A and B are shown apart, each in its own frame.
Chain A
């Protein structure tokens, strides 16, 4: 009764992750929570990358294993770490400037 796990399922997980991250980005006012949302979206992308490198998607059977998506996902993780470092620095700076972590208070660029 259970069908085998196909990339679609992974993609579904990626969608859930992505939507969760997106909602987190849109609804949370805490800069840290937003960072978490960003991380969720990045990981949703990672899941997608890995899902799309699944051998199920390739036409001829028995083709050599391709790890392009996994390699990409590793790079994204590294980048996400770097990004988190920069973002945390921005968050710290934001806090020291506005005395809060509420991003809605930092609306100096309002038109």
Chain B
């Protein structure tokens, strides 16, 4: 156990290193102008060290909890995860807001995969972004005077964002509660926004960044609602039991939900005071795993699951919200590979997988249907796109749809397995396309062609990627990574179809899209690498990429090749590894609730030899068909693509316009918002401004009146008084004539007056006095 306690510490350091790198580059970035390469070294070293630390953590884990040697899907394999909190922000009763870790094999595998691919892409970026080391002339930004924009390079800023992204993504992976997941979910979203808009001077890039951000807000709105519903129905956001600072142990979401579903609480035993205990016969619950769908809390749970999935729809670019991902290709190609193919967009799938025990059959059905729609729509769009990165973007959406479908029909391992294999081969394909773009300076496949001779390394590694995504292999024996994971999904979908005949169409659509996948991938490969060069000047300038770009390609190609394999001589394989962390008891659940009887089949049954053989061969046939058509159209050019496009021009136009989703959304939402905005503006002008203006007028006239009163009455009174005093002063002043004679006269007059007054008042006395004398 001592060794196990080391794992959280190792992962914590691995998690914090990219943050440290971000801070260092952020602070020193402006001084590193001449030596921006140092920023790249710091970022790469931090993420590389993180990768090594997480590998060490994984090896410790596997040493303590070795993979069992028996077959698949045995519930006894489940190893309880390492759960704890690193840092607590606040506690409100039993609600605890904390940064914590939830470590099981899924976390470890994601952690290793993310840090490993991120390391490779950091290395690749040294080559791809070298132009940013000095001043850049952006050929896509034409200034008013017709010249190209010239700006300082942003090499260190690029690595700064990559480091922030690494930190956020690893935090998302390691989180033990939904709130922490949400925080890092938003952080990866903002990193994506920064990096899509890395070339801020290009209007298309800023537009794409805004689009990604806004579309994700719609999904996140649902996610917040889902979180609120979880908090309401369960009172916590931790997955697993947790302790508050007063030492009290509370059950986590998983045990709450299991209790609600009347499922045996296998995940924990300590929470014996959980609400599940009140159910009278929990152990032999009414039919194995049947759900009670009566309670309000259950509806809240459905709502919570749907809300959570809404967030995943936004982040993983699923059907209604998939429109942002193709536009996100405006960012630099390493970003597309890391964020918009391998890791961030897979976060939605990861979250569905992580919160698998919390979801209800209704939610699973929604996930499966959305996944099916997504994978079909985007596969069809990918067949007509001409931008090499857009093809890969739609392919990514399609593969994410496969993962969602796999998870939705009960294939927990299958969906997450595909997440891992897809991360490798899609990162490979994006880096390969980056290499091509680097060589050609254009994204348009119709201008490429014949590059096989110029850049063999890129061509062959991309061929591996194409084969892997198409699911190439020798049926029933071995294949590239995509073969294993896609077959696992298809088998589970097939099984789901047999259990629920109403939904058997999902399997056929998935199969058809597997064929389309092979078609569009080889269309891409043939258009890019074979045939005659269609643009001679581009062809002559093309060259193989530098070593820093080729080496990651080769490493990723080898992983894309072998990621699905079982380690020779053992039974170790990626699905087997994930089996340890299966949080949901592997039991068949049938649900007789609101959406009718849905049976979510046990994943183990999909490994039945008969189903496996059937699915494997059908999938292979579909892939061969897709490959064959692509070869006929673009390889040997036996058929003319333009001809076909013309013959089916309605469909072609429909696909070329991406099913008119952008136009539809523009009509529905953007123009509605504009209309609302103009209405608001009108109200603002006509009502609010009018009121304010007239209020102001009224106040002004009142002020005028007041002013008049002030001037006429108040000032008038004062002035009049002053005038009177002045006049009085003047009048008195003329008496002081300065003429001595008039003074004397007045003295005499005064004297006489005094005498007269004295005579009047004292006349009698004087008279008496005179009389007496």
Chain A residues packing against B (C-beta within 8 Å): 22, 25-29, 34, 57, 103-104, 106-111
- Contact present for A106 and B738 (CB under 8 Å): yes
Q: Mark B620-637, 1 if CB is under 8 A from A, else 0.
A: 000000000000000000
Within 8 A of A (CB), among B707-743: 732-741
Q: Which of A27, A57, A103, A111 is the one whose CB lies under 8 Å from B740?
A: A103
- Contact present for A25 and B744 (CB under 8 Å): yes
**Which of chain A's residues has its CB closest to B730's CB?**
A111
* Given A22-B748, A26-B748: A107 in contact with B739 (beta carbons within 8 A): yes
- Contact present for B738 and A110 (CB under 8 Å): yes
Give A29 to B744 CA distance when docked, in angstroms: 12
A contact residues around B76 at 8 Å (CB): none
CB distance from A84 to the nearest CB of B (A): 17
Q: Which of A25, A27, A107 is the one whose CB lies under 8 Å from B738?
A: A107
- Contact present for A111 and B734 (CB under 8 Å): yes
- Contact present for B744 and A26 (CB under 8 Å): yes
A contact residues around B686 at 8 Å (CB): none
Taking A103-B739, A107-B739, A111-B733 as known contacts, 7 extra A-B pairs with beta carbons closer than 8 A to each other, sorted by chain A number, are A22-B748, A27-B741, A29-B741, A57-B773, A103-B740, A109-B736, A111-B734
Q: Which of A26, A57, A108, A111 is the one whose CB lies under 8 Å from B741?
A: A26
Give A108 to B738 CA distance when docked, in angstroms: 6
Give A104 to B147 CA distance when docked, in angstroms: 96
- The reply on B745 being an interface residue by CB < 8 A is yes
Give A32 to B124 CA distance when docked, in angstroms: 124
A contact residues around B741 at 8 Å (CB): 25-29, 103-104
Give A108 to B748 CA distance when docked, in angstroms: 22
- Contact present for A111 and B738 (CB under 8 Å): yes
- Contact present for A111 and B744 (CB under 8 Å): no
**Which of chain B's residues has its CB closest to A37's CB?**
B744
**Which of chain B's residues has its CB closest to A25's CB?**
B744
Give A103 to B741 CA distance when docked, in angstroms: 8
CB distance from B747 to the nearest CB of A (A): 9
Give A107 to B740 CA distance when docked, in angstroms: 8
Q: Which of B737, B745, B773 is the one whose CB lies under 8 Å from A110?
A: B737
Q: Which 8 A-B pairs have the closest CB atoms?
A: A111-B736, A107-B738, A110-B738, A111-B733, A109-B738, A103-B740, A25-B744, A26-B745
Chain B residues packing against A (C-beta within 8 Å): 732-741, 744-745, 748, 773
- Contact present for B739 and A111 (CB under 8 Å): no
Give A111 to B733 CA distance when docked, in angstroms: 5
Give A103 to B738 CA distance when docked, in angstroms: 10
- Return 19 A-B CB contacts under 8 Å, by A number: A22-B744, A26-B741, A26-B745, A28-B741, A34-B740, A103-B740, A103-B741, A104-B739, A106-B738, A107-B737, A107-B738, A108-B738, A109-B736, A109-B738, A110-B737, A110-B738, A110-B739, A111-B732, A111-B736
CB distance from A21 to the nearest CB of B (A): 11
CB distance from B272 to the nearest CB of A (A): 112
**Which of chain A's residues has its CB closest to B773's CB?**
A57
Give A28 to B735 CA distance when docked, in angstroms: 20
CB distance from B477 to the nearest CB of A (A): 131
Give A25 to B745 CA distance when docked, in angstroms: 9
CB distance from B728 to the nearest CB of A (A): 13
Give A34 to B744 CA distance when docked, in angstroms: 11
A contact residues around B739 at 8 Å (CB): 103-104, 107, 110
B contact residues around A107 at 8 Å (CB): 737-739
CB distance from B737 to the nearest CB of A (A): 5
Give A28 to B740 CA distance when docked, in angstroms: 11
Give A27 to B773 CA distance when docked, in angstroms: 38
**Which of chain A's residues has its CB closest to B732's CB?**
A111
Give A28 to B745 CA distance when docked, in angstroms: 12
Give A72 to B599 CA distance when docked, in angstroms: 148
Give A110 to B732 CA distance when docked, in angstroms: 11
Give A28 to B744 CA distance when docked, in angstroms: 11
B contact residues around A34 at 8 Å (CB): 740
- Contact present for B737 and A111 (CB under 8 Å): yes
Give A101 to B375 CA distance when docked, in angstroms: 128
Give A26 to B773 CA distance when docked, in angstroms: 35
Give A107 to B733 CA distance when docked, in angstroms: 13
A contact residues around B773 at 8 Å (CB): 57
Give A106 to B740 CA distance when docked, in angstroms: 9
B contact residues around A29 at 8 Å (CB): 741
**Which of chain A's residues has its CB closest to B741's CB?**
A26
Give A92 to B738 CA distance when docked, in angstroms: 19
CB distance from B734 to the nearest CB of A (A): 7
**Which of chain B's residues has its CB closest to A107's CB?**
B738
B contact residues around A22 at 8 Å (CB): 744, 748
B contact residues around A111 at 8 Å (CB): 732-738
A contact residues around B737 at 8 Å (CB): 107, 110-111
Give A106 to B748 CA distance when docked, in angstroms: 21
Give A34 to B733 CA distance when docked, in angstroms: 25
A contact residues around B734 at 8 Å (CB): 111
B contact residues around A106 at 8 Å (CB): 738, 740
Give A36 to B267 CA distance when docked, in angstroms: 138
Give A14 to B744 CA distance when docked, in angstroms: 19
B contact residues around A27 at 8 Å (CB): 741
B contact residues around A109 at 8 Å (CB): 736, 738
Most buried by A among B732, B733, B744, B773: B744
CB distance from B773 to the nearest CB of A (A): 8
A contact residues around B735 at 8 Å (CB): 111
Give A103 to B744 CA distance when docked, in angstroms: 12
B contact residues around A103 at 8 Å (CB): 739-741
CB distance from A48 to the nearest CB of B (A): 15
Give A25 to B744 CA distance when docked, in angstroms: 7
Give A25 to B773 CA distance when docked, in angstroms: 34
Give A35 to B451 CA distance when docked, in angstroms: 136
CB distance from A30 to the nearest CB of B (A): 11
Give A103 to B740 CA distance when docked, in angstroms: 7
A contact residues around B740 at 8 Å (CB): 34, 103, 106
**Which of chain A's residues has its CB closest to B733's CB?**
A111
B contact residues around A25 at 8 Å (CB): 741, 744
